[in-house]
Structure 1
Amino acid sequence: MKVIICGAGQVGASIARQLSQERNDVTVIDTSTELAQRMDESHDVRGMVGHASHPDVLEQAGAAGADMLIAVTRSDEVNMVACQVAHSVFNIPVRIARIRSHAYLKPQWATLFRAEHMPISVIISPEIEVARGIARRLRSPGAFDMVPLADGKVQLLGVHCTDPAPLLDIPLRRLTEQYPDVRAAVLAVLRDGRWFVPRGDDVIRLGDDVHLVCRTADIVKVVALFGHTEAPARRLVIAGAGNIGFNLARLLEEKMPAVSIRMIERDPDRAGLVSRSLKSSTVVINGDALDHDIQEEAQVHRAETIVAVTNDDETNVFAALLAKRAGCQRAITLLNKTSYAPIIAGLGMNVVVDPAAVTVSSILRHVRRGRVAAVQPVGDGFGEVVEAEALETSRAVSAPLGSLALPHGMIVGALVRGEEVIIPSSRTVIQPHDRVIVMATADLVRKVERLFAVGLEFF
């Protein structure tokens, strides 16, 4: 499949790397000669210098034969025009655009992106995606990541294993017999900086980061097995009332109305606007999130969680540290500079949110079609969790899973059959139209296609 990516920044480069690993034909366009050359030198992709919205540049990039255009430049307007040209001039079937400005995303302008006006297939708003992700984490505080699958019946969780954790050092194959009322399957483990797909004889160790699937009804039980018994936050402080903070507050007002929210915003005009736009129960305080008196007014010492989402990494880190020192139990911190991540990990941050990684994940979830309902990247190019419908023609149907001889690096984590969630064993038989959730390392993604006949192609 031929893909054109507009923008060679952190997001564009990550998407290019992921798609090229799956042997797609990828071309990346950027106005920066340095970034374009870097793509040529460090990835199996073609880097081009030029303006991504110009028809002649897109033509040189092979737009006439492209299957998809992904526009993730720094400019919303360039992204929108690139999608328009891709549709009107080159008839590229799928066009995905990152749009940051909420001026384009207000409900009253919803018709702007209809096919007859600005034909963008999928719009990704990083701020909204980050806010949604944080809201999910707040509903299950024991997890550092949480993605719904199978219409919400199954959750993909990321959990850090702490002490005491009941499942420590128990072979994974014995978890079902030890905890028969918990339906969960471990898909991938990060240990000492290395990802691996576990086998039945492997055990979970203290400090592991574990990705697993479980029945939504079992989330609390599952995270407790990893040593997490935290209750959902009832008192929350949000540092930063920008687009992320504002969208998060609105989501929580709608989805978690019992939560008491206090926000800190340095800009007085923005603080006033946000205060007028939210419910009266949400308190917006104008001030510096690093000021002791302001934090005291926000009652961080009584809050279960602080969410630091200003537009400055240093402010986010220090606001979270000060809040935890004052007695706040948990910190969720937005971090744009990934080079800070190793340092931050040792400072007691419970969750670090990388907005670029969230954007990449959101875009990759939309590049599959056909019988594939969802794709969720795991690790930085390590693998993918794929949710797909099993077809009658699949060789995986009507045979016990144990007879399929799945390669190491591929795990069938869950099946959804009607309303029933099944965590399979070697004796489980996949039936036609089951929703199958599979973990596969990057080199095995194409084998998932052949095994389940789900057509992991874009068309």
Structure 2
Amino acid sequence: MKIIILGAGQVGGTLAENLVDEKNDITIVDTNLDPLRHLQDKFDLRVIQGYGSYPRVLRAAGAENADMLVAVTNSDETNMIACQIAYTIFKTPNRIARIRSHDYDCESEQLFSPEAVPVNHLISPETLVTDSIYQLIEYPGALQVVHFAEGKVSLVAVKVYYNGPLVGNALSSLREHIPHIETRVVAIFRQDQPIDPKGETIIEAGDEVFFMVASQHIHMVISEMQMLEKPYKRIMIVGGGHIGARLAYRLEKDYSVKLIERDRERASELAAQLKYTIVFYGDASDQELLSQEHIEQIDVFIAITNDDEANIMSAMLAKRMGAKKVVALIQRRAYLDLVQGSVIDIAISPQQATISALLRYVRNADIVTVSSLRRGDAEAIEAIAHGDQRNSGVVSRDIGAINLPPGTIIGAIVRNNEVIIANRHHRIEPGDHVIMILTDKKCIVDVEKLFQPINLSL
């Protein structure tokens, strides 16, 4: 596939890295030459310096023959205009834009259409991050929760602690503990390395375990991996930007929410907009403020300012002062690798959330959902099976007979609203939604081929 990426920042660069590995023809455009040189030195792709919204720059990038334009610059307006020009002048068939402003996002149904701004797919990082954090609050103890098949089945990551019921036991004993619930462990990461989950695999403290289960049973399975945490009640949010404001609005009716904002004017605006959230003007690194607001009673402390260092330091301070769980929004990949699993319980990456949403639209098979896992180390995919036994590598075949690439496990099938937790004897039928995890992302092209029916008439 020939793809033009506008913006060589962290999202554009990471997307390019993912897509180059999958044998796509990538051209990346940015006004800044330094990141372009870095990407060109590292990967097999073309670079163009210039404004992505200029017709001559898009022409130089090959927009006339491109299959897709992905506009992920830091400017919503540039992204929108680039999609407009690609549609009007170059007839580029697929156009994706990252839109960060809530003002645009809330009018998306009327604004983004062929008759107005011709964007095929809209990516809102703020909405994606808000959804991710909300899921973590809804499911205490989870490191990541991804819903598939319209929420019917979920992939959940948990950290196994020393007092967990399964520590020291084989995976096969999970069925004995909860015989009435169908679940499957599809991946285990031990000391940051994937291990193949088998029935005889012994669960160790510190393991990061990914399991698939019908969504209504998530809490029950988490309780087998670790001592089930009590439902969260008291939430403290640091940062009143787009994400902080959206999260507070979403949580305030069901939880006791406090929000700290260090800009006085913004704090006043939020206090007027939010009905039930208590808004404070102040600095979250101020120990006296945290003490006064009884940080030791806070169930979840969420630092989501635009400053990585401020998020890390305030989360570490809150944890030291007694907050039960701390979450930090971190943009830089190097920081993510350093802090995840340390004093900070969960590190959220807006880039990874955005990449997950983008990858769904650039896959070759009929992909419904893609989710990047463990900061990009693994990937979960929901694909729809098409064809028949003659022209498909999966349809009308038992899972055990499918030639799956290394590190690929089919965890669940959704068929006519029925959730089937998969084993090697289940057979895939046309129209099935197949949910799988890949711990070796280099195999994604092979997985796509399996789910693409062969045209027998050629």
- TM-score, length-scaled by structure 2: 0.91
The residue that corresponds to 1:413 in the other structure is 411
Q: 1:12-48: CA deviations, max 9, x gaps? A: 1110111111111111111222211211111122222
The residue that corresponds to 1:55 in the other structure is 55
The residue that corresponds to 1:315 in the other structure is 310
Give the whole-Å Cα distance in 2 for the aligned partners of 1:341 and 1:20.
23
Residues 1:138 and 2:154 aligned together: no
What secondary structure sits across from 1:51 in the alignment? coil
Task: Tell whether the 8 Å contact from 1:237 to 1:298 is kept in structure 2 after alignment.
Answer: no
The residue that corresponds to 2:398 in the other structure is 400
Give the whole-Å Cα distance in 2 for the aligned partners of 1:414 and 1:37.
42
Q: How many residues align?
A: 450
Give the whole-Å Cα distance in 1 for the aligned partners of 2:6 and 2:386.
35
Q: 1:110-143: CA deviations, max 9, x gaps? A: 5222221111112222222111110111101211
The residue that corresponds to 2:427 in the other structure is 429
Percentage identity across paired residues of the two chains: 38
One-letter amino acid matched to 2:261: E
Task: Tell whether the 8 Å contact from 2:235 to 2:256 is kept in structure 1 after alignment.
Answer: yes
Please give the residue correspondences for 1:437-452 in structure 2 after superposition, counting only pairs within 5 Å. Answer: 437-440=435-438, 441-452=440-451
The residue that corresponds to 1:274 in the other structure is 270
Q: 1:132-186: CA deviations, max 9, x gaps? A: 1101111012111111101101112122221122233444455435542332222
Give the whole-Å Cα distance in 1 for the aligned partners of 2:351 and 2:175.
36
Give the whole-Å Cα distance in 2 for the aligned partners of 1:291 and 1:260.
21
Please give the residue correspondences for 1:222-301 in structure 2 after superposition, counting only pairs within 5 Å. Answer: 222-253=221-252, 257-279=253-275, 281-301=276-296
Task: Tell whether the 8 Å contact from 1:68 to 1:94 is kept in structure 2 after alignment.
Answer: yes
Give the whole-Å Cα distance in 2 for the aligned partners of 1:354 and 1:297.
30
Change (3 A) 1:201 1:315: same
* CA RMSD after TM alignment: 2.2
Which shifted more, 62-71 or 318-327? 318-327
What secondary structure sits across from 1:64 in the alignment? helix
Give the whole-Å Cα distance in 1 for the aligned partners of 2:247 and 2:236.
11
What secondary structure sits across from 1:120 in the alignment? coil
Change (3 A) 1:308 1:294: same
Give the whole-Å Cα distance in 1 for the aligned partners of 2:382 and 2:105.
29
Change (3 A) 1:269 1:453: same
Task: Tell whether the 8 Å contact from 1:96 to 1:120 is kept in structure 2 after alignment.
Answer: yes
Which is bigger in relative contact order (C-alpha 8 A, separation at least 6)?
1
Task: Tell whether the 8 Å contact from 1:187 to 1:213 is kept in structure 2 after alignment.
Answer: yes
What secondary structure sits across from 1:365 in the alignment? helix
Task: Tell whether the 8 Å contact from 1:317 to 1:333 is kept in structure 2 after alignment.
Answer: yes
Give the whole-Å Cα distance in 2 for the aligned partners of 1:346 and 1:385.
21
Give the whole-Å Cα distance in 2 for the aligned partners of 1:188 and 1:93.
37
Change (3 A) 1:20 1:427: same
Residues 1:378 and 2:376 aligned together: no
* Runs of 4+, deviation exceeding 6 Å: none
What secondary structure sits across from 1:229 in the alignment? coil
Task: Tell whether the 8 Å contact from 1:371 to 1:454 is kept in structure 2 after alignment.
Answer: no
Give the whole-Å Cα distance in 2 for the aligned partners of 1:123 and 1:66.
19
Structure 1 residue 228 displacement after superposition = 4.2
Structure 1 residue 237 displacement after superposition = 0.8
Task: Tell whether the 8 Å contact from 1:239 to 1:245 is kept in structure 2 after alignment.
Answer: yes
One-letter amino acid matched to 1:83: C
Task: Tell whether the 8 Å contact from 2:31 to 2:50 is kept in structure 1 after alignment.
Answer: yes
Give the whole-Å Cα distance in 1 for the aligned partners of 2:115 and 2:194.
45
Residues 1:103 and 2:103 aligned together: yes
Q: 1:90-113: CA deviations, max 9, x gaps? A: 111111111223333344x75222
Q: 1:58-116: CA deviations, max 9, x gaps? A: 11211111111111112222211111111111111111111223333344x75222221
Q: Could you list the runs of 5+ residues in structure 1 that have no partner in the other structure?
A: none
Give the whole-Å Cα distance in 1 for the aligned partners of 2:198 and 2:396.
24
Q: Could you list the runs of 5+ residues in structure 2 that have no partner in the other structure?
A: none
Q: 1:266-324: CA deviations, max 9, x gaps? A: 11211111121112x21111222122332234332222111111222232223222322
Change (3 A) 1:381 1:151: same
Structure 1 residue 380 displacement after superposition = 5.2
The residue that corresponds to 1:79 in the other structure is 79
- TM-score, length-scaled by structure 1: 0.91
Task: Tell whether the 8 Å contact from 1:264 to 1:298 is kept in structure 2 after alignment.
Answer: no
What secondary structure sits across from 1:249 in the alignment? helix
What secondary structure sits across from 1:95 in the alignment? strand
Which shifted more, 123-132 or 8-17? 123-132
